[in-house]
Amino acid sequence: MSFLTAAPGAAPADEEPPDSGEPHRLTAVTGLAALSLDAMASVAYGPEAIVLVLAAAGAHGLGFTLPVTLAIAGLLAVLVASYRQVIAAFPDGGGSYAVARTHLGARTSLVAAASLVLDYVLNVAVAVTAGVAALTSAFPELYGDRLWLCLAVLVLITGVNLRGIVESARAFIVPTAVFVVSILVLIAVGLFRSAPVSTAAAAGHASVLADNATTVGTLLLLKAFASGCSALTGVEALANAVPSFRVPRVRRAQRAEVALGAVLGVMLVGLSVLISRFHLQPVEGVTVLAQLADASLGHNWAFYVVQFATIILLALSANTSFGGLPVLLKLLARDNCLPHVFALKADRQVHRHGVLVLALVSAALLVFSGGDTNTLVPLFAIGVFIGFTIAQVGMVRHWCGERGRGWRGKALLNAFSAVLAGVSAVVVTATKFAEGAWLIVIAVPLLVAAFETVHGAYARIGERLGLGRVPEPPYRDRSLVIVPVSNLSRLTCEAINAATSLGDEVRAVTVCHPDAEDRAQVAALERAWEEWNPGVPLVRLASERRALGRPIASYVRRTAVYEPGTRITVLIPEVEPDRLWQRLLQNQRGAVVAHAVRRDTDAAICRVEVPPPVTLVRGVIGVSGGRGIGSRRWMSRP
């Protein structure tokens, strides 16, 4: 069931009424800042991942760095072109999940959703730990506090995103621009140098280059390709978050996608050219990007600008997940595969529950890994290639079914992209399986099973509520309100006032236990009740045990049997304290009664909160039947 279906005459997906919160949505530039940090920051570890693998074949192996990078850049170009088509075909966002939901069936779409959810969560943990690792490399004295630093960065990013995606984009424009400009300057300067200007960064560090290794096999190249494909994570984020853009959404998201592909491709290829040009070797304790900055710009202020820009962007690249995952969770909630609370928006167009859940799960991963990047990296980038493959296969089905102008060329592009992405998914999973990828293989089916369980629960609730069917004409039953009381007070008076306003008949009930003290208290209550004479009978319920809720629930059941056709409501009065901490002083009798009645009967439950005797009384009654769902508000005055 879903309460998110569009009303007749609603605006199309790419049009919004004037009051729809457009100022809190993204432009193409702010979209790049908010949703591409993951992809941008990947140039800090993508080329290095390739070099580290090829180093096993010695200096001869490093000569294949540029060809492997060009292959990755080619895959990037195909994916960008394909995701432009996804954006146009599915302007409501969701990326591979939306494509698969429409063209490949529900279960396949849940596989895509599960893989993306895992990748988004891992991206947050990897990005934060990588940024903090870069920081602790510059300041070794902070190494022991890296977990707390990771959690602090996560809290900062979460807080910014709770203020709205536009606020986060504006906050991250400057560090994104500084990083991109510094990398492009590094590449441009390095291309004009015939030799490294400095090697201070790598001085004193041991090389990890293998000795006397000259054979470069297909398996090694595939492993290098798989490692370098970590640079492609985040390419799908713009397609997942199309609704976050301002109108015209499709055009802005497509521009941002092309800009992301162009900038990322230039940086990846440019850095690989410099690695080959300067014959750099991986060394322990110094990143390849740091060596490139040192070789191109020298060991000066420009070197430190690149380093600090890398640190900041790595830490903040988790923002891609905060922009994309809440939208994906919203779509899953709309399709009844997650609790509907994930579809709700707070102010500033924020899916607050999705942001908070992402932060909590990421924090748990950070604690589990102890803030260590190497624990999480083997799990990274597998899910996104599963999503890539599913999305492209779905788009082939889309064009074959639509058969619009130029559909054959579009379908061929998506088919080619599906083959490349599928091969990449197999290669990445196979080469990283023993390093932890088996966890993803297990986690994806578990998530799919969880989604299907939630969907089944909503289906059963919808069947019980008769959603989608025209109900019978309404009719009025006799109404009986039962009020549990234990003494005579202003609270009792307010409860009887509320009950007489709600029902045709009101009965007060009190439970009497067998001990003498309790019988004396009940007798005193009956005398006071007779003296007060509210026009409502007081029924004594005998209980052999020191129970409160069960005797009342038993009386409700008996009443329902002997008085058929009667709507029974149990009204439970409670005091609203002056201070929040004073709730700890309450005896929770109302909660005990409500639990017993809800569990054992079909009666509705009304809980009346009576505030202190000042001005207007503000009370809220939460109503829920034993097998139904509902709510009611009650305003009372002293």
Band of pLDDT at residue 482, cut at 50, 70 and 90: very high
Residue 517 or residue 166, greater confidence = 517
Judge whether 241 lies within some domain. yes
- Tell me what the mean pLDDT of segment 52-58 comes to: 75
The answer on 437 and 356 residing in a single domain is yes
Tell whether the model's pLDDT for residue 371 goes beyond 80: no
Is 73 a member of any domain? yes
Looking at residue 209, its pLDDT comes to 53
**Residue 571, domain extent:** 478-610
Q: Which amino acid is at 17?
A: P
- Least confident stretch, 153-167, 363-377, 617-631: 617-631
pLDDT above 70 for 546: yes
Say whether 168 sits in a helix, a strand or coil: helix
Q: Can you tell me the mean pLDDT for 216-245?
A: 74
Strand partners, 632: 621
Coil/strand/helix, residue 479: strand
Measured CA to CA, the distance from residue 185 to residue 192 in angstroms comes to 11
CB-based contact 176:40 (threshold 8 Å): yes
Q: Angle at Cα 621 formed by Cα 618 and Cα 623, nearest 5°?
A: 165
If asked whether residues 238 and 325 sit together in one domain, one would say yes
Whichever domain contains 365, its CATH number is 1.20.1740.10
Domain boundary among 403, 425, 459: 459
Identify the pLDDT of residue 449.
93
Judge if 391 and 525 occupy the same domain.
no
The fraction of the chain above a pLDDT of 90, given in percent, is 7
Region 88-112: mean pLDDT is 82
At 357 the pLDDT is 86
363 in any annotated domain: yes
How many CB atoms are closer than 10 A to CB 545?
9
Q: How confident is the model at residue 13 (pLDDT cuts 50, 70, 90)?
A: very low
How many folded domains does the chain comprise? 2
pLDDT of residue 164: 63
Residue 200 has pLDDT above 60, yes or no: no
424/560: higher pLDDT: 560
Q: What is the mean pLDDT of residues 322-338?
A: 82
Considering the chain, what is the average pLDDT of its residues? Answer: 77
Q: How far apart are CA 439 and CA 108, in angstroms?
A: 19
Is residue 407 domain-shared with residue 529, that is, in the same domain? no
Instruction: Say yes or no: 542 and 570 in one domain.
Output: yes
- What was the pLDDT predicted at 450? 92
- pLDDT, tens digit (0-9, with 9 covering 90-100), for 254-269: 888 888 888 888 988 8
Which pLDDT band, with edges at 50, 70 and 90, does 608 fall under? Answer: confident
CATH number for 553: 3.40.50.620
Q: Rounded to an integer, what distance in angstroms lies between the CA atom of residue 6 and that of residue 10?
A: 6
Placement of tokens 């002056």 in the chain: 578
Specify whether the CB–CB gap between 166 and 26 falls below 8 A.
Answer: yes
Task: Note whether 515 and 424 are same-domain residues.
Answer: no
Domain presence at residue 262: yes
Residues 502 and 401 in one domain: no
Domain assignment present for 18 = no
In eight-state DSSP terms, residue 7 is P
DSSP 61-84: HHTTHHHHHHHHHHHHHHHHHHHH
* Residues 535 and 495 occupy one common structural domain: yes
Element (H, E) at 568: strand 566-575
Q: What is the mean pLDDT of residues 296-305?
A: 83
Three-state SS at 354: helix
- The reported pLDDT for the residue numbered 11 is 41
Residues 48, 108, single domain; the answer is: yes
Cα separation of 180 and 34, whole Å?
Answer: 14
Domain annotation covers residue 130: yes
Backbone angles phi, psi at 314, to 5 degrees: -60, -45
Name the pairing type of β-strands 505-512 and 478-484: parallel
Given 415, 432, 459, which residue is the final one in a domain?
459
Tell whether the model's pLDDT for residue 148 goes beyond 70. yes
Q: Which pLDDT belongs to residue 375?
A: 62
For residues 574 and 432, membership in a common domain is answered with: no
| Same domain for 432 and 497 | no
97 touches 328 (CB < 8 A): yes
Is residue 221 included in any domain, yes or no? no
- What average pLDDT does this structure show over 361-375? 75
* In-domain check, residue 356: yes
Q: Which residues contact 316 (CB under 8 A, 6 or more apart)?
A: 37, 41, 127, 131, 157, 172, 175
**Which tokens is 58 given?**
């010695």
CA dihedral 453→459→460→462, nearest 10 degrees, is: 150
Residues 423 and 524 in one domain: no
Residue 75 has pLDDT above 60, yes or no: yes
